[in-house]
Amino acid sequence: MTTDLDARIRMARDIERGASVLSSRVVEAFLNVPRHPFVPAFYRSEGAVHRPWRSGDEGWLRAVYADEALVTEVDGVHAEDAPAGGVGGAATSSSTAPGLMAEMLDALDVRPGDRVLEIGTGTGYNAALLCHLAGAGNVTTVDRTGRLVDAARERLAGAGFAAAVVRAGDGAVGCPGGAPYDRIIATCSVRRIPPAWLDQCVTGGLIVAPIGNALGGGAVACLTKLPDGGAAGRFLHRP
Ligand SMILES: C[S@@+](CC[C@H](N)C(=O)[O-])C[C@H]1O[C@@H](n2cnc3c(N)ncnc32)[C@H](O)[C@@H]1O
């Protein structure tokens, strides 16, 4: 029988093999932080209907540790609250595919002690990886609704990361209370980098964010904050 630890080790090794270069700190974070406590339920799509798939259901653990995005909220209805028959609508929150998370975390180059802001808490899994890399007391994460952040806060605490700050609010304004940050990562797409992120990032700090207009879509920008208050960088190479 495959245990969650076996599945996690296999996923971390698959991520390592799939990426061109990945820092050992990022791989080690995926080996140490389990994904399953953060996704007790998510949706699978059958045509236009999204049906909840819950912990204990056939194939659930395999899906959790596949390199796939897991949709956890559809039009504001969390998979944990969904009727068995499912719901219709568009995805409004998900756990990003681990391979993409790994590449974004690698680009973010988080060191122990770095103050990190994440925009788009979602399930809290990426925040947990950030806590492992930077130290939980250095991580602030923001999402739109109380439903999402309350669940993520509870799961982060369960994983030993109670010191992380988890806030509801519009990530476009960053989180001024915890500023300045050495690293800022967005897991939702933005059309342009909000001025508040530049204001709240230290000079020489890094900002990693998908530039696009859909949930998780677009090309991922990796920018360095410049002394003149702007930022410059590159897009990550991904198909
Ligand atoms: C891909 S999901 C999050 C993945 C998450 N980091 C994880 O590990 O599960 C993107 C998240 O961004 C959030 N989001 C979108 N726009 C936002 C905004 N303006 N402010 C804060 N959160 C936002 C969505 O609610 C969604 O939960």
Cα of 117 from ligand 1 centre, angstroms: 13
Write the secondary structure of the chain as one string of H (helix), E (strand) and C (coil).
Answer: CCCHHHHHHHHHHHHHHHCCCCCHHHHHHHHHCCCHHHCCEEEEEECCEEEEEECCCCCHHHHHCCCCCEEEEECCEEHHHCCCCCEECCEEEEECCHHHHHHHHHHHCCCCCCCEEEECCCCCHHHHHHHHHHCHHHEEEEECCHHHHHHHHHHHHHCCCCCCEEEECCHHHCCHHHCCEEEEEECCCECCCCHHHHHHEEEEEEEEEEECCCCCCCEEEEEEECCCCCEEEEECCCC
Tell me which of 187, 192, 193, 208 to substitute to probe ligand 1's pocket, judged by most ligand atoms within 8 Å of the beta carbon.
187
- 117: Cβ below 6 Å to ligand 1? no
Of 2-6, 72-76, 127-131, 180-184, the range with the lowest mean pLDDT is 2-6
Distance (Å) from CA 186 to ligand 1 centroid: 8
In this predicted structure, the answer to whether residue 179 has a pLDDT above a threshold of 70 is yes
When pLDDT is averaged across residues 163-168 and rounded to a whole number, the result is 98
Choosing from 24, 45, 93, 94, the catalytic residue is 94
pLDDT band at residue 66, thresholds of 50, 70 and 90? Answer: very high
The verdict on the CB of residue 189 being under 6 Å from ligand 1 is no
Q: Which atom of ligand 1 is nearest to the CA of 69?
A: 1
Domain segments of the chain: what residues? 4-95, 99-235
Classify domain 99-235 at the CATH class level: alpha beta
94 is catalytic: yes
